[in-house]
Amino acid sequence: MKYSDKITSKLNDLLEKAYDAKKGYALAADKIETPTVHRFLYDKVSQRANFAQELENEMREYGEVKEGSSSFKGDMHRTWMNLTSSLSGDDTERILEEVERGEKASLEDYNDILSNEEYSLPPSTRNLLTKQRNAIQSALNTAKVYEEMVS
């Protein structure tokens, strides 16, 4: 079985966003001194690298894989994070707000492909995307808890 062009495109978007999130988390972790938040962010760097690898492996089974790189939008988001952290007195809270914003956008992307019946996903792909979406939801919840702690 081979993915349709629409599924391949959507999954390549998720792959690109996994690379963006990995870079964004690394940038955020480098700017945070609070040990628990710093560790949380670096854990997400590894998680997103794993997401990308899992997506690539799954896509090789069913379709084409665009070589992973970050997107222009992701690069702009990291630039914004750099700028705001250099201007802000409370880096941790601002960075966690950006983490939340990014995770909410990721959830929307995953929910879109999982809920759209037009994308007839193979069970293994559906299971992988559901697992990754649930991990993103968990990261979002944790980021919110940390943000409340530092605000």
Per-residue pLDDT tens digits for 52-98: 999 999 998 887 776 555 554 545 444 445 544 543 445 888 888 88
Residues 90-109 as b/e (b if ≥16 CB within 10 A, e otherwise) read ebbebbbebbbebbeebbeb
Q: 5 Cβ partners below 8 Å, 6+ apart?
A: none
Q: What is the pLDDT confidence band of residue 5, given thresholds at 50, 70 and 90? A: confident
Does the pLDDT at position 112 exceed 80? Answer: yes
Token digits of residue 42: 């670096």
| pLDDT for position 43 | 96
How far is Cα 103 from Cα 125, in angstroms, rounded to an integer?
Answer: 20
Domain map (residue ranges) of the chain: 5-150
Mean of per-residue pLDDT scores for the chain = 84
Alpha helices in 32-64, H assignment, sequence order: 35-62
Q: How far apart are CA 22 and CA 47, in angstroms?
A: 8
User: Can you give the pTM of this predicted structure?
Assistant: 0.84
CATH architecture designation of domain 5-150: Up-down Bundle (1.20)
Residue 55 phi, psi (nearest 5): -65, -45
Integer Cα distance of 106 and 137 in angstroms:
9
